[in-house]
Amino acid sequence: LSFQIYNKTYYPMLNDFSRLKTGMCNTILLKKFFTKNLPEPYTSCKNLDESPTDLYTKIRQMDLIYTQKTCYEFCKQDYIVEKCKCFTPFITNKWFDIKKCLNSSEMLCSFNIYINVSFTIRSYCFDKCPLECDYFAYEQSLSLGDFPSYAYADHLMENKY
Protein backbone atom coordinates (compact mmCIF):
# COMPACT_ATOMS: atom_id res chain seq x y z
CA LEU A 1 0.00 0.00 0.00
CA SER A 2 1.41 3.40 -0.98
CA PHE A 3 0.35 6.81 0.22
CA GLN A 4 1.31 10.42 -0.24
CA ILE A 5 0.82 13.33 2.14
CA TYR A 6 1.08 16.86 0.84
CA ASN A 7 -0.52 20.25 1.28
CA LYS A 8 -3.36 20.62 -1.23
CA THR A 9 -1.83 23.84 -2.54
CA TYR A 10 1.41 22.02 -3.43
CA TYR A 11 1.90 20.02 -6.60
CA PRO A 12 2.13 16.31 -5.70
CA MET A 13 5.29 14.70 -7.05
CA LEU A 14 4.82 11.28 -8.61
CA ASN A 15 7.85 9.82 -6.86
CA ASP A 16 7.23 11.27 -3.36
CA PHE A 17 5.27 8.53 -1.67
CA SER A 18 5.64 6.14 1.24
CA ARG A 19 4.75 2.50 1.51
CA LEU A 20 2.89 0.68 4.24
CA LYS A 21 3.30 -3.01 4.89
CA THR A 22 0.08 -5.00 4.64
CA GLY A 23 -0.87 -7.35 7.47
CA MET A 24 0.98 -5.19 9.98
CA CYS A 25 -0.03 -2.43 12.38
CA ASN A 26 1.42 0.73 10.78
CA THR A 27 1.95 3.94 12.73
CA ILE A 28 2.68 7.18 10.90
CA LEU A 29 4.01 10.23 12.70
CA LEU A 30 4.18 13.55 10.88
CA LYS A 31 5.78 16.85 11.78
CA LYS A 32 5.11 19.87 9.63
CA PHE A 33 7.84 22.49 9.47
CA PHE A 34 7.66 25.99 8.07
CA THR A 35 10.85 27.76 7.04
CA LYS A 36 11.10 31.44 6.15
CA ASN A 37 14.43 32.67 4.80
CA LEU A 38 15.51 36.21 4.08
CA PRO A 39 15.90 36.89 0.34
CA GLU A 40 19.12 37.85 -1.42
CA PRO A 41 21.73 38.98 -0.42
CA TYR A 42 21.28 37.09 2.87
CA THR A 43 20.46 33.71 1.29
CA SER A 44 20.23 32.28 -2.22
CA CYS A 45 16.43 32.42 -2.28
CA LYS A 46 14.48 35.00 -4.26
CA ASN A 47 11.36 36.96 -3.39
CA LEU A 48 9.35 35.89 -6.41
CA ASP A 49 6.41 38.14 -5.63
CA GLU A 50 8.66 41.12 -6.40
CA SER A 51 10.31 39.69 -9.52
CA PRO A 52 8.30 36.68 -10.75
CA THR A 53 9.56 34.27 -13.39
CA ASP A 54 7.22 32.95 -16.11
CA LEU A 55 7.03 29.55 -14.45
CA TYR A 56 6.34 31.12 -11.05
CA THR A 57 3.42 33.03 -12.60
CA LYS A 58 2.05 29.89 -14.28
CA ILE A 59 2.31 27.84 -11.08
CA ARG A 60 0.54 30.55 -9.08
CA GLN A 61 -2.20 30.78 -11.75
CA MET A 62 -2.87 27.08 -11.06
CA ASP A 63 -3.54 28.02 -7.39
CA LEU A 64 -0.43 26.13 -6.32
CA ILE A 65 2.27 27.34 -3.99
CA TYR A 66 5.56 27.81 -5.80
CA THR A 67 8.42 25.48 -4.89
CA GLN A 68 11.65 25.03 -6.76
CA LYS A 69 10.89 21.31 -7.00
CA THR A 70 7.50 21.99 -8.65
CA CYS A 71 9.09 24.53 -10.94
CA TYR A 72 11.68 21.99 -12.10
CA GLU A 73 8.90 19.50 -12.93
CA PHE A 74 7.08 22.05 -15.08
CA CYS A 75 10.32 23.33 -16.55
CA LYS A 76 11.11 19.76 -17.64
CA GLN A 77 7.71 19.77 -19.31
CA ASP A 78 8.61 23.01 -21.12
CA TYR A 79 11.85 21.40 -22.26
CA ILE A 80 10.00 18.29 -23.48
CA VAL A 81 7.52 20.43 -25.41
CA GLU A 82 10.40 22.33 -26.99
CA LYS A 83 12.32 19.18 -27.97
CA CYS A 84 9.53 16.66 -28.68
CA LYS A 85 6.71 19.00 -29.84
CA CYS A 86 4.29 17.32 -27.43
CA PHE A 87 3.75 17.15 -23.67
CA THR A 88 4.39 14.10 -21.54
CA PRO A 89 1.52 12.42 -19.71
CA PHE A 90 3.86 12.00 -16.69
CA ILE A 91 3.14 15.59 -15.65
CA THR A 92 -0.25 17.25 -15.44
CA ASN A 93 -0.84 19.50 -18.42
CA LYS A 94 -2.32 22.75 -17.23
CA TRP A 95 -1.17 25.31 -19.72
CA PHE A 96 0.08 23.72 -22.93
CA ASP A 97 -1.93 24.17 -26.11
CA ILE A 98 -0.23 21.18 -27.65
CA LYS A 99 -0.95 17.49 -28.04
CA LYS A 100 0.08 14.68 -25.70
CA CYS A 101 3.03 12.53 -26.67
CA LEU A 102 1.16 9.46 -27.91
CA ASN A 103 3.02 7.63 -30.66
CA SER A 104 6.10 5.55 -29.87
CA SER A 105 8.70 8.08 -31.09
CA GLU A 106 7.06 10.93 -29.13
CA MET A 107 6.74 8.78 -26.01
CA LEU A 108 10.36 7.68 -26.29
CA CYS A 109 11.49 11.28 -26.74
CA SER A 110 9.53 12.52 -23.71
CA PHE A 111 10.36 9.50 -21.56
CA ASN A 112 14.09 9.81 -22.20
CA ILE A 113 14.07 13.49 -21.28
CA TYR A 114 11.84 12.99 -18.23
CA ILE A 115 13.81 10.07 -16.80
CA ASN A 116 17.30 11.30 -17.64
CA VAL A 117 17.37 14.49 -15.61
CA SER A 118 20.53 15.67 -17.23
CA PHE A 119 22.87 18.57 -16.84
CA THR A 120 21.21 20.12 -19.90
CA ILE A 121 17.80 20.27 -18.23
CA ARG A 122 19.27 21.50 -14.97
CA SER A 123 21.07 24.33 -16.73
CA TYR A 124 17.96 25.03 -18.85
CA CYS A 125 15.83 25.34 -15.70
CA PHE A 126 18.29 26.88 -13.26
CA ASP A 127 17.47 30.55 -13.90
CA LYS A 128 13.79 29.83 -14.46
CA CYS A 129 13.36 28.12 -11.09
CA PRO A 130 14.98 30.05 -8.25
CA LEU A 131 14.85 28.76 -4.69
CA GLU A 132 11.76 29.87 -2.77
CA CYS A 133 12.22 31.73 0.52
CA ASP A 134 9.22 30.26 2.35
CA TYR A 135 8.41 26.60 2.37
CA PHE A 136 6.71 23.79 4.25
CA ALA A 137 8.26 20.40 4.79
CA TYR A 138 7.00 17.23 6.40
CA GLU A 139 9.16 14.94 8.48
CA GLN A 140 7.71 11.47 8.51
CA SER A 141 8.35 8.54 10.79
CA LEU A 142 6.88 5.10 10.10
CA SER A 143 6.84 2.17 12.49
CA LEU A 144 5.18 -1.19 12.26
CA GLY A 145 4.41 -4.16 14.38
CA ASP A 146 2.59 -7.48 14.19
CA PHE A 147 -1.18 -7.24 14.23
CA PRO A 148 -2.68 -8.40 16.35
CA SER A 149 0.15 -8.46 18.87
CA TYR A 150 0.57 -11.67 20.85
CA ALA A 151 -0.88 -10.02 23.97
CA TYR A 152 -3.89 -8.64 22.08
CA ALA A 153 -4.45 -11.97 20.31
CA ASP A 154 -4.49 -13.71 23.73
CA HIS A 155 -6.96 -11.10 25.00
CA LEU A 156 -9.23 -11.71 21.99
CA MET A 157 -9.09 -15.46 22.45
CA GLU A 158 -9.81 -15.28 26.19
CA ASN A 159 -12.82 -13.01 25.69
CA LYS A 160 -14.13 -14.97 22.68
CA TYR A 161 -14.34 -11.96 20.33
76 band by pLDDT with thresholds 50, 70 and 90: confident
Q: Residue ranges of the alpha helices (H) in the chain?
A: 54-61, 68-84, 104-115, 119-126, 150-158
Average the pLDDT over each of 61-70, 72-81, 87-96, 138-147 and give the range with the smallest value: 87-96
- Distances in Å between the Cα of 155 and the Cα atoms of 26, 122, 152 are 20, 58, 5
Is residue 56's pLDDT more than 80? yes
pLDDT of residue 117: 65
Q: How many residues does the chain have?
A: 161
> Which one has a higher pLDDT value, 8 or 78?
78
> Which one has a higher pLDDT value, 59 or 24?
59
Distance between CA atoms of residues 48 and 106, nearest Å? 34
